[in-house]
Structure 1
Amino acid sequence: MFTAIVLISFLVYVLIGYVVGRHVKTKSDYFVAGRKAPTLLITGSLVASYMSAVGFTGDVGLSYDGYPILLLILLVVSYTGYILGPLIFGRYLRRSNVLTIPEFLGKRFDSRRVQVLAGVTVIAGVGIYLLAITQGLALLMSSLLDINFATALLVLLVAYTSLTIISGSPGVLVTDTIMFVVFTTAAIMCMGWVIWDLGGPQDVVARIANLGTHPDSLMPHGLTGSTAYMGTPGDAIVWAGIYGVVWAIIITVSPWQSSRYMMAKNEHASVRGGAWAAAAMLVFYIPLAFGSLALNLYDSSIQPSENAFIHAAQEIMPIGLGAVALCGIFAAGLSTASTFLSLVGFSVSHDINVNNQKKPSTSDSGTKGARLAILGVGASVFVVAYIAPPAILELAYFAGALFAASWGPVCLMAVHSSRITARGASASIASGFTTVVAMEIAEVATSLEIPIYLHPAIVGFAISFCAALAASSSKDASRRGTAFRKELMNTPSSEVDTVELKKTKATLVTLSVVSIASIGVLYYAYYRPVLSVLG
């Protein structure tokens, strides 16, 4: 049954991509969906490209191990990226009318070198993340469907590569949004069922508080005792805060997030999309975090803990609900994989291949080059994923740190500073990238334990920022680059729309209501029961 459901869902997504792809006529359509995407599609793609299967494995595993509040602290800090992202970077990115973010940086600094360097980081960083997601989904498929790894890998790659080749960004946006609905429904339904099957929130809290295998797992710092792996309670809180800041930067500037704003029909759709994404993350993660911890009341010995949600779908939930859960996991993974594949393919064909940039955005020949690049990247991922040993979570976190360090300073300074030059931008990208790589290699090769406050993304960000300032001090900024930035500062008259402004204000008010409601839910379903049980 599970095999049929998974394969049918794959086929449905590809067919949707085919239908959407029939309306793709130009390079602008293929790369940025013609800049016509409404708020719903921006929201769906933002959340879907963030979640991936890592949310249903790594985040579930963290909560199952006894750290659900830490996960929520990290989330609340990181989701500020959805509010700040479109305001301090995304809307200016959209005004530039470029097809890729490396092209934006190239134009801002009037430098082909900067564009190529940024394109290389996309290919390397996003490619690594894509590899991690692909390996994780293939391992999951081979286990659940009882097929060998190579077959699972091939089926998976054919599914998301064909979807991306056929439809480009419009297909990715539409299928991302559908998958967003699927995995959000799966998380809320499945974890809601778990909590109520165990007697409801108050009973679950009372039973977990007395669960000897997970002492203090309901406390903000999470698990204590011999099995705790997050250090002291203080270390755990610092970890959540720092990782939250890192992911807030990633959400603000990473290509798989900020590129969504380029596709919005207007700047208001970008801002509203970010606000709805933040609200959706709250609604999604609260039941996921507490439901994952509650799985210990069924079985507290699931190993590895990243398989807790999958185990529950197969062994605990009713068959129909388990099928929904598995569809949610695969939807989350496929949506991210298709987004990442399109980004790598676009950078290969547009940012690295200088000849392809000379093709006008109305030319279909540009899409042919991008499709060939996507096919080549998909084939390369298959070979590497088959040969290389899986390191799913490690690779995903590594790729995120790369962009926080190498893109964070340069993207923000490109918009908000007139001092930074092409030389400074190159130095910033290169130094941030190499710092993260060097620190990760040192940690792996020497078994060095780097303190959390010296996280590679934080150190890399600081070095990248300093390198930008130092390298920019010896030369004046390009006149063309300065003029490009000055033009970005002018709000287009089309964006001054009273109706759109009212919709945006209403969305921000709704986000405030959802945030307050989430606090209320946590108060009645978590804080009061914990207080009554633990005093």
Structure 2
Amino acid sequence: MQLLDTFDWITISIYFAVLIGIAVWVIKKKNSNTEDYFLAGRNVGWFVVGASIFASNIGSEHVVGLAGAGAGNKLPMLIYEIQAWVVLILGWVFLPFYARSGVFTMPEFLEKRFDARSRWVLSVFSIIAYVLTKISVTIYAGGVVVAALLGIDFWTGALGTVILTGIYTVLGGMRAVVYTETLQAIILVIGAAALTFIGLDKVGGWESMADTVGPEYLNMWRPMNDPNFPWLPLLIASTITGIWYWCTDQYIVQRTLTAKNIKEGRRGTIFGALLKLLPVFLFLVPGIIALTLKMRGELNWDSPDEAFPVLMSNLLPSGLRGLVAAGLLAALMSSLASVFNSCSTLFTVDIYKKLRPNTPEKKLVRTGQFATGIIVIIGIIWIPIMANISGVLYEYLQSVQSYIAPPITAVFLLGIFSKRINATGAFITLVTGLIVAALRIVLELIKESLNPDGVLYYIGHMNFLYFASWFFLFCVILIVVVSFLSPAPSKEKVENLTYQTITEEEKRNNKVSYSWIDILVSILIIVIVIGVMMFFNGA
């Protein structure tokens, strides 16, 4: 690893100066009510919405991990990175219902469609899940990246980024988050693109790289008897997780709710989907380049997760290296800012306001700021715990999403596609689903001490992709059976909140909210996704 030099530090300093300038400009604007603070006044354009979706998704652990997948023979995981078509589902299928309902949060939407019980289950679970997974994993990975790039110790790197991100998120709210994320997305794309082009030139082009690693290495589709990534369960499980993450999770959906109207929100998701095609080329390919150079004896690293930082520090010229370092810092900060703001929104709107419905708007904003501050502190307290967690468990945290997603995906999907699905079905499915998810996690941790011939061992040992696929089917059957065995929901619980009950006026409003350009670009994105899937087939 080469440390950053003077020109690199000048580049990083300019980046932070611009970032602070944007944050100060945003903070000076009013955050007088909850709509201003949590949804940027619902006045954001499509470009900022799309850039914010992309920047929220790409964290430092994402960049490092995806390059690590490219360098560590885990190419099937690429399927989670070409889910641009799922982002389109958010804009075309889900967003009109969210926007029409006027909600701030996803649990709030569940209350409108079902009842308060579902709202409470999703609110409390989401906050706990964010603190234990998203915040902790991002801070841990960020501390490692910052320490490696800047030559400082882990604690200084982690604390510095958490505190700086926390300050502008607390003071500026959602507007500060989405505008700083736009800058961060641009920096990240420019920096990583430069590394990909320089890296491909260094290895002698794509053909030369493919010859070194072998064509089979570039195959993301494994046979059904593959113990780790059988292709069909991989396709099903990744789609279920994708719909949960991109279409129902507060962390992502909150960005689209900041848009001026449905048209801008949908265009934001289309732009976000377009950007989502980039990680394959910006982060996965550099990992394969790093492996190629290692196989040729031109580069050395111990763990696949070191591939991106080592490649960056050895290949990029002075100044440009600083830009990519700034991009990695940007990725860390944007992910942290997003999850901080999402947590404070969930706490303030779904818990505090529900318990104290007559609270003035200004006090709700102050409560949101206070909640963000508390979450920042919890994140800092969590750092030493994450620092002691092994790499195996860090990877394991990524698969937890496969257990969380099925019940939530089933409730949201069937909730908007069928007016017969009722509150009892949704509540029982969410509670049962979360109990099963917790049981699977515990059984996976203790499976070595279980009887190999027992049912519990089978559940804990089953491939996580198979488990997620069957678990989703179980949740769908459960919600349908319970709903049909209990009374149908009332008219106000379904009107304009399901496809079967959209009024003619809303249908007309929806038709004027998109043009042939939106349809054409969406089709183009789907064609590119299919093209990438066919390209990485080892042929």
Query: Under a length normalisation based on structure 1, what TM-score does the superposition of the two structures give?
Result: 0.85
Cross-structure match for 1:449: 461
What does the per-residue CA deviation read over 1:375-400, in whole Å, with 9 as the maximum and x for residues that have no partner?
A: 111111111222343444332442x3
CA distance in 1 between counterparts of 2:332 and 2:504 reads: 37
Pair 1:273 & 2:285 matched: no
- Gaps in structure 2 of 5+ consecutive residues: 449-459
Q: Which moved more, 1:115-124 or 1:267-276?
A: 267-276
Q: Is the 8 A contact 1:188 1:284 kept in 2?
A: no
Of 228, 238, 245, the residue aligned with 1:244 is 238
Q: Is the 8 A contact 2:246 2:253 kept in 1?
A: yes
Cross-structure match for 2:455: none
Q: Please report how far the alpha carbon of residue 493 of structure 1 lies from its aligned counterpart in structure 2 after TM superposition.
A: 6.3
CA distance in 1 between counterparts of 2:312 and 2:429 reads: 45
Q: Is the 8 A contact 2:51 2:181 kept in 1?
A: yes
CA distance in 1 between counterparts of 2:357 and 2:398 reads: 30
Count matched residues: 508
Q: Please report how far the alpha carbon of residue 295 of structure 1 lies from its aligned counterpart in structure 2 after TM superposition.
A: 1.5
Q: Is the 8 A contact 2:165 2:337 kept in 1?
A: yes
Cross-structure match for 1:364: 362
Q: Please report how far the alpha carbon of residue 264 of structure 1 lies from its aligned counterpart in structure 2 after TM superposition.
A: 1.6
Pair 1:205 & 2:210 matched: yes
SS of 1:37's equivalent in the other structure is coil
Distance 1:462 1:163, change over 3 A: farther
Distance 1:366 1:494, change over 3 A: farther
SS of 1:203's equivalent in the other structure is helix
CA distance in 2 between counterparts of 1:521 and 1:451 reads: 25
Q: What aligned pairs does 1:57-96 form with structure 2 within 5 A after superposition?
A: 57-68=64-75, 70-76=76-82, 78-96=83-101
Q: What aligned pairs does 1:444-523 form with structure 2 within 5 A after superposition?
A: 444-447=445-448, 448-455=460-467, 457-472=468-483, 473-483=485-495, 485=497, 489-490=502-503, 496=509, 501-502=514-515, 505-513=516-524
Cross-structure match for 1:141: 146
Pair 1:377 & 2:342 matched: no
Amino acid at match of 2:395: L
Distance 1:107 1:291, change over 3 A: same
Cross-structure match for 1:157: 162
Q: Please report how far the alpha carbon of residue 315 of structure 1 lies from its aligned counterpart in structure 2 after TM superposition.
A: 2.5
CA distance in 2 between counterparts of 1:497 and 1:113 reads: 30
CA distance in 2 between counterparts of 1:85 and 1:152 reads: 35
What does the per-residue CA deviation read over 1:27-82, in whole Å, with 9 as the maximum and x for residues that have no partner?
A: 111111222221111111111122212321111111112344x3444434x32211
SS of 2:218's equivalent in the other structure is coil
Pair 1:20 & 2:26 matched: yes
Q: Please report how far the alpha carbon of residue 158 of structure 1 lies from its aligned counterpart in structure 2 after TM superposition.
A: 0.7
CA distance in 1 between counterparts of 2:59 and 2:282 reads: 17
Amino acid at match of 2:216: D
Q: Is the 8 A contact 1:208 1:294 kept in 2?
A: no
Cross-structure match for 1:434: 435
Q: Is the 8 A contact 2:46 2:265 kept in 1?
A: yes
Cross-structure match for 1:227: none
Q: What aligned pairs does 1:291-370 form with structure 2 within 5 A after superposition?
A: 291-300=286-295, 302-353=301-352, 354-359=354-359, 363-370=361-368
Cross-structure match for 1:256: 251
Amino acid at match of 1:283: L
SS of 1:299's equivalent in the other structure is helix
SS of 2:217's equivalent in the other structure is coil
Cross-structure match for 1:102: 107
Distance 1:285 1:508, change over 3 A: farther
Q: Please report how far the alpha carbon of residue 442 of structure 1 lies from its aligned counterpart in structure 2 after TM superposition.
A: 0.8
- Gaps in structure 1 of 5+ consecutive residues: 210-214, 225-229
CA distance in 1 between counterparts of 2:203 and 2:536 reads: 15
Q: Which moved more, 1:471-480 or 1:115-124?
A: 471-480
CA distance in 2 between counterparts of 1:403 and 1:495 reads: 36
What does the per-residue CA deviation read over 1:431-464, in whole Å, with 9 as the maximum and x for residues that have no partner?
A: 2222222112211221453224423x43443333
SS of 2:278's equivalent in the other structure is helix
Q: Please report how far the alpha carbon of residue 163 of structure 1 lies from its aligned counterpart in structure 2 after TM superposition.
A: 1.7
CA distance in 2 between counterparts of 1:172 and 1:36 reads: 14
Amino acid at match of 1:413: L
SS of 2:461's equivalent in the other structure is coil
Q: Is the 8 A contact 1:160 1:334 kept in 2?
A: yes
Q: Please report how far the alpha carbon of residue 373 of structure 1 lies from its aligned counterpart in structure 2 after TM superposition.
A: 0.7
Cross-structure match for 2:397: 395
Cross-structure match for 2:130: 126
CA distance in 1 between counterparts of 2:159 and 2:43 reads: 33
What does the per-residue CA deviation read over 1:444-502, in whole Å, with 9 as the maximum and x for residues that have no partner?
A: 221453224423x4344333333323433223424542357379824766973887533
Of 34, 54, 61, the residue aligned with 1:54 is 61
Q: Is the 8 A contact 2:23 2:172 kept in 1?
A: yes
CA distance in 1 between counterparts of 2:228 and 2:104 reads: 44
Q: Is the 8 A contact 2:496 2:502 kept in 1?
A: no
Of 20, 25, 37, the residue aligned with 1:30 is 37
CA distance in 1 between counterparts of 2:332 and 2:519 reads: 29
Amino acid at match of 2:52: S
CA distance in 2 between counterparts of 1:518 and 1:415 reads: 26
Task: Give the root-mean-square deviation of aligned CA atoms.
Answer: 3.2
Q: Is the 8 A contact 1:63 1:71 kept in 2?
A: no
Amino acid at match of 1:310: P
CA distance in 2 between counterparts of 1:240 and 1:328 reads: 30
What does the per-residue CA deviation read over 1:305-349, in whole Å, with 9 as the maximum and x for residues that have no partner?
A: 011101111223223332222222221121111111111111112
The share of aligned pairs that are identical, in percent, is 19
CA distance in 2 between counterparts of 1:374 and 1:160 reads: 11
CA distance in 1 between counterparts of 2:493 and 2:531 reads: 49
CA distance in 1 between counterparts of 2:193 and 2:265 reads: 26
Distance 1:7 1:238, change over 3 A: farther
Q: Please report how far the alpha carbon of residue 412 of structure 1 lies from its aligned counterpart in structure 2 after TM superposition.
A: 2.1
CA distance in 1 between counterparts of 2:512 and 2:492 reads: 35
Distance 1:36 1:494, change over 3 A: farther
Q: Please report how far the alpha carbon of residue 238 of structure 1 lies from its aligned counterpart in structure 2 after TM superposition.
A: 4.0
Distance 1:306 1:491, change over 3 A: farther
CA distance in 1 between counterparts of 2:173 and 2:507 reads: 27
Q: Please report how far the alpha carbon of residue 401 of structure 1 lies from its aligned counterpart in structure 2 after TM superposition.
A: 2.9
Q: Is the 8 A contact 1:122 1:343 kept in 2?
A: no
Q: Is the 8 A contact 1:172 1:335 kept in 2?
A: yes
